[in-house]
Structure 1
Amino acid sequence: MRTGEETCNGPAGGSGPRGGPSAHGPAPQGAAVPVPGACRTPSDAEITVTAEGLPPWLSPVARAADTLEPQQLSSFLPPESGRGRQSAVLILFGEGAAGPELLLMERSGTLRSHAGQPAFPGGSLDPEDGDPATTGPLRAALREAEEETGLDPSGVQLFGVLPRLYIPVSQFIVTPVLGWWHTPSPVGAVDLAETARVFTVPVADLTDPANRANAVHPRGHLGPAFTVEGALVWGFTAGLIDRILHHAGWERPWDRNRKLPLDWHA
């Protein structure tokens, strides 16, 4: 995620309206998706968010996205002050040789924050992305994914939006955007100063108990982790994957006593 400074001085996070189209689930085609607790402007153009036409195996994720509450995803929620860096990530599901898969990238080891961590493509909202309360996070997720991985956004169907979450260490207020990669395009690290590599991970590997553990930070923090594709996925990204697997009904029993220590650079 880039560390831009764009913010939105709206009402307190988490206190916005939740009527009409779901604030964090699939919306009718052409509908604006409200993000609770951010400011609004009338100038946002429409962007399509629909769960129509998804492959059947993605239906559990779409159903979960339509009902999940923020507390079901994380204990770190946007501050009531509303202060934070508005941002978005793209949780992109595709289908590869090994079946359903997720697109991830590994951040450059020279970055100031989250260096070397596997992550979803994403970053701060730019002014041209539009209203953070509606379509801004959708555009930002696609734009950042294109800038970081080179994917063609026209091959992506957005089918849901999860509740906004918070990363205290970097003060990001993150909107996770769900996508179906119906027409895959070539991807790779566009800027090696920002991205070390881009890779896909089969969902079957993420649900394999042999690849699951709890990462232990030197400060004592404990959280889900995955050892896949030569990478240790932990932190915010692993937490989201863990919750999606759980609420989609894909989780398999795994040894929660298995712990992997992180070093002080994490």
Structure 2
Amino acid sequence: MSISKEITKLEPFIRILNDELNIGLPGFEAQKLMSPSSREQALLKSDPSKARDSSVLLLFYPKEGQLHLPFIKRTTGNTNHSGQMSFPGGKYEESDANRTITAIRETNEELGVECEKINILGFLTELYIPVSNFMVLPVLAYSDERPSFTLSEFEVEELIEMPLTELLQKDNISEFIINKNGHRIAAPFFHAKGHKIWGATAMILSELREILLRAALI
């Protein structure tokens, strides 16, 4: 896969991404390219109309001549997503003016990124997560420089910084099998420095990838 030089520099990347967002979003068809095989069955047993609002932040920033996205490995606990790879983000609180504020607040709490250094670009398509009953709004943003990260010991076990040129290449996508409650689940995933990015996070990334493919950036 050829890589456009515009995907490595912040200013042209932001300009092109803004243009693509104005054209419209690929939506569910792009998300489902990275959907686990169990999702359709899970949706049949769920009611998205009763979902809790939440959001995540896709924060682009330059590092070592490449644009990166930060991911967190969540600490192991009793939540549905403990130990998994995800974007920073979380549940909407009544004190939040909107879900954009939720994404910024959660990124500050989990990664210590200063709120005023987060510049909002736009949004991807909402995604319902049956296992946790969340309706997730992916918020796109950028920082002019690599943030100074301070990890929340309670919520974040590890920070993984991935260059876009590596993350979104076709040969960085694989599939693994999960056996859960006697069911065999096929789950596509993105490789991320020894970790697997799958599930809702991979579905969100899939829509971003389709937008960048449409723009001939990858």
TM-score, with structure 1 as normaliser: 0.65
**In 2: Cα distance, 1:180 partner to 1:222 partner:** 33
Task: Write out aligned runs for 1:67-216 (5 A).
Answer: 67-68=24-25, 70-74=27-31, 82-130=49-97, 136-190=98-152, 192-216=153-177
Structure with the largest fraction of helix: 2
Tell me the secondary structure at the aligned position of residue 55 of structure 1.
helix
Opposite residue 27 of structure 2, the aligned amino acid is P
Paired residues of 2:55 and 2:90 also in contact (CA < 8 A): yes
Task: Write out aligned runs for 1:21-100 (5 A).
Answer: 55-66=11-22, 67-68=24-25, 70-74=27-31, 82-100=49-67
User: How many pairs align?
Assistant: 192
Structure with the largest fraction of strand: 2
Change (3 A) 1:181 1:224: farther
* CA drift at 1:139: 0.2
- Give unmatched runs, 5+ long, in structure 2: 1-9, 33-38
**Larger relative contact order (CA 8 Å, sep ≥ 6):** 2
Change (3 A) 1:251 1:223: farther
Tell me the secondary structure at the aligned position of residue 176 of structure 2.
strand
The answer to whether residue 204 in structure 2 is matched with residue 240 in structure 1 is: yes
Q: CA RMSD in A?
A: 2.3
Paired residues of 1:93 and 1:100 also in contact (CA < 8 A): yes
Change (3 A) 1:222 1:243: farther
Paired residues of 1:224 and 1:239 also in contact (CA < 8 A): no
Change (3 A) 1:205 1:98: farther
TM-score, with structure 2 as normaliser: 0.78
The answer to whether residue 186 in structure 2 is matched with residue 229 in structure 1 is: no
Moved over 4 A (4+): none
**In 2: Cα distance, 1:158 partner to 1:151 partner:** 14
Query: Partner of 1:24 in structure 2?
Result: none
**In 1: Cα distance, 2:25 partner to 2:54 partner:** 19
Paired residues of 1:151 and 1:186 also in contact (CA < 8 A): yes
